[in-house]
Structure 1
Amino acid sequence: MHVTGKGYGRVCLAGLVCAKPGRRTRLMHRTLIRRGRPGEVKGFGPRQLSALLDAAHAQLGGPIVLVWDNDRRHLSAAMRAVIEARSWLTVFQLPAYAPELNPGEMGWSQCGLRRTVRS
């Protein structure tokens, strides 16, 4: 997937790779364009991530098992509340640094993108 943010400021992308035995694998994603305007959403927060999860659940029609890295947005109290409110959602947290367990890390390096992690 080619995404360009040239002239727009910053393009944020959140995606899910959805795999179900015996079915085609799907990629579900949402983009968020940030132009740096006052009061503008700066990135994906619990509300945007929960909307993506709800859309995936509605489209797939079954429980979801989610494997997440340790991005600060995934670990927030608000996101934990979102997870707790959805009985159809099971979340596994990857260890702090485990690129061998997270194929997405290899994808970032292959496409020339660098993911930055802020403390």
Structure 2
Amino acid sequence: MTPATSRTWSRRGSTPVIRVRGRSQRRFSIAALCCYKPGERSRLIYRPKQHADHKSGGRRSFAWSEYRDLLIAAHQQLGGPIVLIWDNLNVHKDRRMKAFIDAQDWLTAYHLPSYAPDLNSVEGIWSILRRTTLANTACADPSHLMRRLRHGLRQIQYRSDIIEGCFTGTGLTPTTPRLQTQ
């Protein structure tokens, strides 16, 4: 991963150059859910994963079954129904994932319009992670990067105000249905 640069300096008149070692074929993926429930603190549920080298047969991203397992774990942790708002990642629209979602009475899924990162609250989490924990950090090896990712996500996970700020940043306000008086 090319390090994110938040600050740098150099002599006046010269452009700063940041040198990093060559890129590897190792890939990391992080699946995350920003969870909101009225009256409770907002939560971040995530799963980071280091993939095997894709040139030797490894995957480049999460499989649909790994997203399924994340949703099941989130359901158990949250103890209630889940309304899922997803982007249009191909794995999110996989026929097996659709079949899983349709088979669950506790899970409802909506897909965002094509290319709408401004409506996806998890994109705010990635932006914060990149600007804070990963900023100005050149990781020496994959395990160092994984430690930094986990550390940064743990810091965000316990700050419900940051998660709620990511919800607010989308412009979509979480609402609860009002009780109908009869």
Structure 1 length-normalised TM:
0.77
Unaligned runs of 5+ in 2: 1-22, 135-182
**How many residue pairs align between the two structures?**
108
Which residue matches 1:116? none
39, 45, 51: which one pairs with 1:34? Answer: 51
| C-alpha separation in 2, matches of 1:42 and 1:97 | 20
TM-fit CA distance, 1:76? 1.2
Identity of aligned residues (%): 44
The CA deviation at 1:13 is 0.4
Q: Corresponding residue for 2:91?
A: 73
Q: 1:47 aligns with which of 25, 47, 65?
A: 65
Structure-2 residue corresponding to 1:64? 82
Distance 1:78 1:24, change over 3 A: same
Offset of residue 42 of structure 1? 3.5
The 1:36/1:101 distance shift into structure 2, 3 A limit, reads same
Which structure is larger by alpha-carbon Rg, 1 or 2?
Answer: 2
Structure 1 alignment gaps of length 5 or more:
1-5, 114-119
Query: Cα 1:18–1:104, aligned 2, differ >3 Å: closer, same or farther?
Result: closer
Q: Which has the higher strand share?
A: 1
Q: CA RMSD in A?
A: 2.5
Partners of 2:45 and 2:25 lie apart in 1 by 22
Q: Structure 1 counterpart of 2:78, which letter?
A: L
Cα–Cα, structure 1 residues 75 and 24, in superposed 2: closer, same or farther, change >3 Å? same
Distance in 2 (CA, whole Å) between partners of 1:65 and 1:49 is 15
Worse-superposed segment, 49-58 or 92-101 = 92-101
Partner of 2:101: 83
